[in-house]
Structure 1
């Protein structure tokens, strides 16, 4: 992937948007190589209020049953509903740009992964970054969970030692399905409203967010390669479809990105790209005691120090 920009480069909204476009290109190339069969199909779209994006979807591959890598750059008048949510009077202009990734593997032992990096700028001068990476294993492997979190901790520590504990806790709280009393997966890092201020420059914030984006494929590729050849049964596939149902519940009930897309008249196909191709809701399904499924359920809770298990 491309290297972090040098400090002499002027970083502004145009540069950040182009950087995210390049990130989409690089990630799609690497995921196609990893899958070895399927290729991304692209649709370009325009937003009536200003801007647009590129939706790229991969389906029916060796690894990925369905996935998407979306880029967007939208701007215009901030909807009244969002103005109220930000505590602002109507009439502000906004720009939002970012890359969003969701991958639903065919093999139940390859975890679902989500990554997002985004930048938001207001006409009143306020600007911030958001994003993160989180993992949703169908079957939790403690050593793999430890690897995932240690990788994120190392990434964060390259920029600020306070980032990982803060953003890890944020992910635990954010990716939480309250009506199920369980986390969506093993979390990761999540951050929002990472503002530019006199203490932290736009360049420093950008370097961290770019590092998150560029680290994604390296971290995830390791997990794919460790699990992609594992055989699985019909019962394990059924469990995958049940767990996918929890993913759908979170995305439709709680996910801010989904709500933002709907509130800003985003492209529906791109917004719902995150949903899996197949899913089951079995009435009051309970796994067998002492099973791998029961173990996974027991670990879907906040506050686990995965990196130090």
Structure 2
């Protein structure tokens, strides 16, 4: 039977694997690590990479925290217990080249007791410019991973991602989605905790082959100052979502998490342009038209 210590150890190993692989893929920078302790219980390892050949800034964070659950979180989770344990790996990468997409991944486990525990997570892609071939590759990889565990997982979790990564005040999706899931347990998936743990690890290990391939495809593409300005504007949408809607950001702030680790998801630079309208027929307009829910990227 799996326990929370086994999960935390596995997540640390996945953090190590991803950091090593990203250093190789980038080729010009290495991660800096900060080991931290949380007041109230637990801690983590924050790893940041900056100013590389591909990655402008990225973070690959591990945490395993415990303590008393704040009243706001208890209400949100609809639970009465006080003591909690949570562990996970969270990743956000902001590349320097506008043709390389932003990527986010999170795998996590939450526990109050033997009866109240679940897995959550997901992986999603935010291209500055949507490249259909890349989008199809990304979603096909996720479909293959999900199908190993349950045929319905991909479509179920893709819709969840479309709905979750939606910027309501802009009426657009943050990117091209991916998969998102939360509170997965045997009684709502019909698979065991052991299988859910294996699924969580496979989602985590999908990150490196996916992003390495996308870097390889796009890192040498030429870009202009206009492309960079568009990238900065697309990053601003990313910031808006994270600060207004992201549940992980809210959980970290409400549980007295480490601020630098929580906000490492933000890009080094983002620009807000007043009343922007893309030129008809431009690459920017084509991207905006694809930032919507329900796109079938497997058959695009």
Which TM-score band (shorter chain)?
over 0.9
Residue 301 of structure 1 corresponds to which residue in structure 2? 292
Unaligned ranges ≥5, structure 2: none
Q: Is the 8 A contact 1:92 1:123 kept in 2?
A: no
**CA-to-aligned-CA distance 1:23-81 (integer Å, 9 cap, x gap):** 10110000000011110000011111100000000000000000000000000111111
Q: TM-score, normalised by structure 1?
A: 0.95
Instruction: Report the alpha carbon displacement of residue 167 of structure 1 after superposing the two structures with TM.
Output: 0.1
Aligned pairs for 1:19-38 (under 5 A) are 19-38=10-29
Q: Is the 8 A contact 1:127 1:196 kept in 2?
A: no
What RMSD over aligned residues (CA atoms) do the two structures have, in Å?
1.0
Residue 94 of structure 1 corresponds to which residue in structure 2? 84
Cα distance between partner residues in 2 of 1:124 and 1:69: 29
Aligned CA distance change for structure 1 residues 124 and 12 (closer, same or farther; 3 Å) = closer
1:131 has 2:121 as partner = yes
1:78 has 2:69 as partner = yes
Aligned residues: 299
Residue 275 of structure 1 corresponds to which residue in structure 2? 266
1:189 has 2:179 as partner = yes
1:155 has 2:145 as partner = yes
Cα distance between partner residues in 2 of 1:229 and 1:65: 15
Unaligned ranges ≥5, structure 1: 1-9
After TM superposition, what 4+ stretches of structure 1 lie above 3 angstroms from structure 2?
Answer: 196-199
Instruction: Report the alpha carbon displacement of residue 124 of structure 1 after superposing the two structures with TM.
Output: 6.2
Residue 33 of structure 2 corresponds to which residue in structure 1? 42
Cα distance between partner residues in 1 of 2:60 and 2:73: 25
Cα distance between partner residues in 2 of 1:88 and 1:137: 37
Aligned pair partner of 1:121 in 108, 111, 127: 111
Residue 61 of structure 1 corresponds to which residue in structure 2? 52
Instruction: Report the alpha carbon displacement of residue 88 of structure 1 after superposing the two structures with TM.
Output: 2.3
**CA-to-aligned-CA distance 1:89-140 (integer Å, 9 cap, x gap):** 3x52110000000000000000000000000011363110000110000001
Aligned pair partner of 2:157 in 162, 167, 172: 167
